[in-house]
């Protein structure tokens, strides 16, 4: 029987002198200084840059190995009016990077084309049939967007046919790189570029910066979409790119973005990273998961409001269908985990089915990781016994390296530290489960399988003020490497606990041992199954993010729960 572990709360010890210096020199509250230190920011100069990112933080794009070769070849293509095709991936990063390139070429007076493989029919990355088709169409230059790093044979084929290939990608690199005209990847061992966290949309932005010698801010809405959807770290260059891009997404300059916000009910809403991750990106991804990702490119490139609205409505319908399929697969997968796995002996989850939809298994794998805190592989098996799927990992386990030790069982694989895709024969699935489980168990210890709840700072009741909320908001945008601040408030008395909405917990927090003064609103999304703990009469310790909540024109502070436990429990 599988076990779901309770979280262990972790609050790092901070150097008091450094903490005091940040507070003093930047006029910060104690909690805000703690958050900065927990993000690795310990000197005032770095803190000022973090709080006020600007274009001056951007690096010279020519520091990236082979950028000069890529720029030279692209300029020649524009000068000679050659046929250029952008070969993108079917996820948000690939779609937005593709759109950035198409917009650039259009501004140069060159109508470039694009090609995105069908997820179910062609799979990820370059393929021989597509290369030959593009050659027959007269393509002289092929630029990849979020693929190509491992496409050795396909790029050799393109070269033999007389096509030049520029790879822009950010996936893990093999020991031998394909013979591309230029291969731009910040994860190359010889990349020479300190920012390893660029997604391909960010990389396309850097290519355009190199080509024009300017920071082309008009495309930062696309960069923000790709960066957030690809779960890239929101530090360094990404911090400026996303912060400015979110402003453009809020403005909705593109008809496609306006339409997407409208069908999602976000017409007047300020766009934040969570809005992209949970509302906009899933709709863009839905096209590539269920049908044709080319629709997403057309949505982002069209200047017609009518066409944009038609495509956005179609993508919204596809997203609802995707959610239905996802819920069904998740329910079935959880039932199988509960009956087939014993996590005293099983280090990972590997599940497969001939009834599962390939376009959705990656999302379900991520949901299983959240629930069971185990690296997870989910596979969809076709009628010929070919299993294709996605994997997600947990902190401490490098998924791509782990799969590398199973390469004899796999036809192909690739990805990152925490996410990967793969193809194998159905008969090799049991061996993959056994070997990957052994690798995980020899790499991680028991505590690694218990999810952590990071605490940035403990606060007192009087610390939770609008001023603190505003100061913490200045640390946005939040995401990987810069998560939302999580504070700790101890000895809280819950008042009037109840279930609202879709299994959400809501109650008022009353100060323990204090007067009958104002209480704080508390919301815990999808925590309804833990209502017994709240109603048990115990005082609670709350791990939460404070935020503004406006209801009927009145603004109050709300504590959005990350976790809670009876006071005094470790």
- Reported as a single tens digit per residue, the pLDDT across 177-202 is 999 999 999 999 999 999 999 999 99
Contacts of 493 by beta carbon, 8 Å cutoff, 6+ apart: 509, 510, 511, 512, 539, 540
pLDDT of residue 349: 98
**What's the pLDDT band for 6 if we cut at 50, 70, 90?**
low
Range name among 276-280, 510-514, 544-548 with the lowest pLDDT average: 510-514
Compute the average pLDDT of residues 401-430.
94
Residue 351, pLDDT > 60, answer: yes
Specify the CATH number for the domain of residue 211. 3.90.1640.30
Length of the chain, in residues:
570
Average pLDDT, rounded, for the chain: 94
In a domain, 89, yes or no: yes
In the block, tokens 């949505």 appear at: 299
Compute the average pLDDT of residues 416-422.
90
- Domain of 407? 341-449
Q: Are residues 285 and 240 in the same domain?
A: yes
Q: Are residues 165 and 16 in the same domain?
A: no
Buried b (16+ CB within 10 A) or exposed e, 411-436: eebbbbebbbbbebeeebbeebbbbb
pLDDT one-digit tens code per residue, 199-222: 999 999 999 999 999 998 889 999
- Alpha-carbon distance of 250 to 268, in angstroms, equals 8
Helical residues (DSSP H) of 341-474, grouped into ranges = 361-372, 399-404, 429-443, 466-473
pLDDT of residue 4: 46
Pairing of strands 386-392, 520-524: unpaired
pLDDT of residue 461: 93
Range among 58-67, 259-268, 532-541 rated most confident: 58-67
Phi first, then psi, for residue 7 (nearest 5°) are -75, 150
Q: Are residues 445 and 461 in the same domain?
A: no
Helical residues (DSSP H) of 108-199, grouped into ranges = 128-136, 152-160
pLDDT of residue 456: 98
pLDDT of residue 514: 60
H or E segment to which residue 378 belongs: strand 376-381
- Alpha-carbon distance of 153 to 159, in angstroms, equals 10
In a domain, 327, yes or no: no
pLDDT of residue 568: 81
Residue 429, pLDDT > 50, answer: yes
Compute the average pLDDT of residues 43-49.
95
SS3 78: helix
Q: Are residues 304 and 373 in the same domain?
A: no
Phi first, then psi, for residue 58 (nearest 5°) are -75, 140
| CA distances (Å), origin 488, targets 452, 463, 485, 564 | 14, 11, 10, 9
Q: Are residues 18 and 95 in the same domain?
A: no
**What's the pLDDT band for 250 if we cut at 50, 70, 90?**
very high
pLDDT of residue 120: 81
Residue 255, pLDDT > 60, answer: yes
Residue 281, pLDDT > 70, answer: yes
* Domain end point (choices 250, 285, 317): 317
* Domain end point (choices 317, 332, 363): 317
In a domain, 336, yes or no: no
Specify the CATH number for the domain of residue 514. 2.40.50.460
Residue 277, pLDDT > 50, answer: yes
In a domain, 223, yes or no: yes
Q: Are residues 266 and 352 in the same domain?
A: no
Q: Are residues 204 and 181 in the same domain?
A: yes
For the chain, how big is the Rg over CA atoms in Å?
25
pTM of the model: 0.90
Residue 550, pLDDT > 80, answer: no
Report the half-sphere exposure of 481 (CA within 13 A, side-chain side).
17
Residue 2, pLDDT > 90, answer: no
Q: Are residues 37 and 87 in the same domain?
A: no
In a domain, 413, yes or no: yes
Residue 421, pLDDT > 60, answer: yes
- Alpha-carbon distance of 278 to 392, in angstroms, equals 18
In the block, tokens 């009741």 appear at: 461
| Percent of the chain topping pLDDT 90 | 84
Contacts of 19 by beta carbon, 8 Å cutoff, 6+ apart: 30, 33, 34, 37
In a domain, 324, yes or no: no
In a domain, 363, yes or no: yes
Q: Are residues 129 and 73 in the same domain?
A: yes
pLDDT of residue 516: 66
**What's the pLDDT band for 383 if we cut at 50, 70, 90?**
very high
* Domain end point (choices 449, 477, 506): 449
Residue 1, pLDDT > 60, answer: no
Residue 68, pLDDT > 60, answer: yes
- Alpha-carbon distance of 187 to 530, in angstroms, equals 42
Q: Are residues 262 and 411 in the same domain?
A: no
**What's the pLDDT band for 245 if we cut at 50, 70, 90?**
very high
| Percent of the chain topping pLDDT 70 | 98
Instruction: Please give the tally of structural domains in the chain.
Output: 3
Q: Are residues 154 and 29 in the same domain?
A: no
Q: Are residues 93 and 118 in the same domain?
A: yes
Closest C-alpha to 252, from 264, 240, 237: 264
């Amino acid at each position: 029987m599988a076990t779901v572990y309770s979280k262990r709360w972790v609050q790092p010890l901070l150097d008091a002198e450094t903490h005091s210096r940040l507070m003093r020199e930047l006029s910060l509250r104690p909690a805000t200084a703690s958050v900065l230190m927990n993000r690795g920011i310990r000197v005032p100069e770095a803190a000022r840059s973090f709080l006020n990112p600007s274009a001056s933080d951007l690096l010279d794009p020519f520091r990236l190995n082979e950028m000069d070769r890529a720029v030279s070849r692209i300029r020649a293509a524009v000068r000679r009016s050659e046929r250029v095709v952008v070969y993108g991936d079917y996820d948000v990063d690939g779609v937005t990077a593709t759109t950035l390139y198409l917009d650039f070429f259009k501004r140069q007076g060159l109508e470039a084309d694009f090609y995105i493989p069908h997820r179910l029919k062609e799979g990820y990355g370059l393929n021989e049939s597509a290369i030959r088709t593009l050659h027959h169409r007269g393509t002289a230059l092929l630029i990849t967007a979020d693929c190509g790093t491992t496409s050795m044979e396909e790029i050799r084929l393109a070269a033999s046919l007389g096509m030049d290939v520029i790879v822009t990608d950010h996936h893990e690199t093999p020991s031998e790189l394909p013979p591309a005209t230029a291969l731009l990847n910040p994860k190359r061992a010889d990349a020479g570029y300190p920012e390893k966290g660029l997604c391909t949309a960010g990389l396309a932005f850097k290519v355009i910066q190199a080509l024009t010698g300017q920071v082309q801010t008009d495309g930062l809405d696309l960069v923000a979409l790709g960066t957030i959807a690809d779960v890239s770290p929101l530090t360094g260059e990404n911090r400026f790119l996303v912060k400015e891009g979110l402003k453009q997404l809020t403005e909705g300059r593109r008809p496609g973005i306006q339409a997407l916000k409208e069908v999602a009910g976000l017409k007047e809403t300020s766009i934040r990273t969570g809005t992209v991750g949970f509302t906009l990106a899933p709709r863009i991804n839905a096209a590539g998961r269920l049908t044709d990702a080319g629709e997403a490119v057309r949505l982002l490139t069209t200047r017609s409001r009518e066409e944009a609205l038609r495509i956005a409505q179609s993508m919204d319908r596809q997203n609802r269908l995707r959610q239905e399929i996802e819920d069904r697969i998740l329910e079935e997968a959880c039932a199988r985990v509960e009956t087939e796995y014993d996590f005293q002996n099983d280090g990972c989850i590997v599940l497969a089915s001939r009834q599962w939809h390939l376009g959705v298994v990656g999302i379900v794998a991520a949901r299983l990781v959240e629930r069971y805190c185990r690296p997870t592989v989910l596979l969809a098996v076709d009628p010929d016994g070919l299993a294709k799927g996605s994997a997600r990992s947990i902190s401490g386990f490098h998924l791509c390296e782990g799969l590398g030790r199973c390469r004899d069982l796999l036809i192909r694989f690739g990805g990152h530290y925490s996410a990967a895709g793969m193809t194998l024969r159905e008969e090799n699935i049991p061996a993959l489960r056994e070997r990957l489980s052994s690798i995980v168990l020899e790499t991680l210890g028991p505590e690694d399988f218990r999810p952590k709840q990071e605490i940035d700072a403990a606060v007192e009741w009087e610390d939770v003020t609008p001023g603190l909320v505003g100061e913490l908001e200045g640390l946005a945008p939040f995401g990987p490497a810069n998560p939302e601040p999580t504070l700790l408030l101890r000895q809280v008395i819950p008042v009037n606990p109840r279930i609202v909405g879709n299994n959400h917990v809501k109650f008022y927090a009353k100060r323990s041992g204090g007067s009958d003064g104002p209480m704080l609103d508390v919301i815990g999304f999808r925590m309804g199954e833990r209502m017994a703990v709240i109603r048990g009469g115990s005082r609670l310790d709350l791990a939460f993010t404070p935020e503004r909540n406006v209801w009927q024109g009145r603004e109050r502070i709300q504590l959005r729960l990350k976790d809670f436990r009876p006071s005094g429990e470790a």
